[in-house]
Amino acid sequence: MLRISFLIALTLFPAASLAQGFGGTVRVVDGDTLDVGGVRVRVHGIDAPELGQRCTNADGVRWDCGTWAADEVRRRIGARSAHCDTVDTDRYGRTVATCSVAGQDVGRMLVAEGLALAFRKYSMAYDLDEKRAVIAGRGLHAHRFDRPADHRRTVREERAGDNAAPNPDCAIKGNISRSGNRIHHLPGQADYARTVIRPEQGERWFCSEADARAAGWRRARR
């Protein structure tokens, strides 16, 4: 009877749904990114300030709250054992997952203590935890700061401004990838704005696609 029940369960629920996730010792990369065992994990549903991101305290002093948040996360869960369940994979190849340490939801703990924010774009799971932390003035909420997503957008825009084409008529970006591939990006393509041209590394601007192709650069796929 037990064997029959097990076979029915396998039929109704695919094997993937019975997966137990993964686990390992935690190494903290930043406020919302961990290495768990050999897996790089972006904690699902939260967003922490970037390393080097600055907050402003009540006296008007700016300080590196991104590094502080990472250090606080490290103090709480660094070198401890975590269990994680995969939710997705992000565009950087990181495993997006919910994780727990000693039975405590890591995302909820970090948001409740004001070390990270609820990332409502992807999950509402920690919405109330953030609101309680704001009311209590815990952690980051005792200071003025930009939400991490807004900070990243500002940085991208500043980099794009600093990396404007020297000649507006020659705005095609000839980038060289880490693997050595020569790829050109047209204005309006997905990665154009965040692609930075480094002439000292052999990258360059092109005035036309024909020029780029002739020089050995292929067009970006997105």
Return the beta strands (E) in 90-159 as ranges.
95-101, 104-105, 117-118
Question: Within a 10 A sphere around the Cβ of 102, how many other Cβ atoms?
Answer: 9
Say how far apart CA 14 and CA 104 lie, in whole Å.
28
Asked if residue 43 lies in contact with residue 107, where contact means CB atoms within 8 angstroms, the answer is yes
Domain ranges for the chain, please list them.
21-150, 163-219
Question: Quick one: pLDDT at residue 198?
Answer: 82
Say how far apart CA 165 and CA 204 lie, in whole Å.
10
Q: Which two tokens stand for residue 199?
A: 């002439």
Partnered with residue 39 across adjacent β-strands are 36
By C-alpha distance, which of 193, 177, 173, 194 is closest to 185? 173
Question: Quick one: pLDDT at residue 2?
Answer: 45
Asked if residue 41 lies in contact with residue 94, where contact means CB atoms within 8 angstroms, the answer is yes
Asked if residue 86 lies in contact with residue 97, where contact means CB atoms within 8 angstroms, the answer is yes
Say how far apart CA 44 and CA 41 lie, in whole Å.
9
- Give me the residue label for tokens 């000649």: 167
Per-residue DSSP letter, 83? E
Question: Quick one: pLDDT at residue 19?
Answer: 46
Pairing between β-strand 182-185 and β-strand 218-219 as defined by DSSP bridges: parallel
| Residue 117 buriedness (CB in 10 A; 0-12 / 13-18 / 19+) | buried
| Successive 10-residue mean pLDDT values, the chain, 222 residues | 46 44 97 96 97 94 97 98 96 94 98 98 97 98 96 76 76 87 89 82 90 93 82
Give the DSSP H/E element, type plus range, for residue 161. helix 148-162
Question: Quick one: pLDDT at residue 57?
Answer: 94
Query: Which CATH number does 21-150 carry?
Result: 2.40.50.90
Question: Quick one: pLDDT at residue 160?
Answer: 63
Question: Quick one: pLDDT at residue 162?
Answer: 61
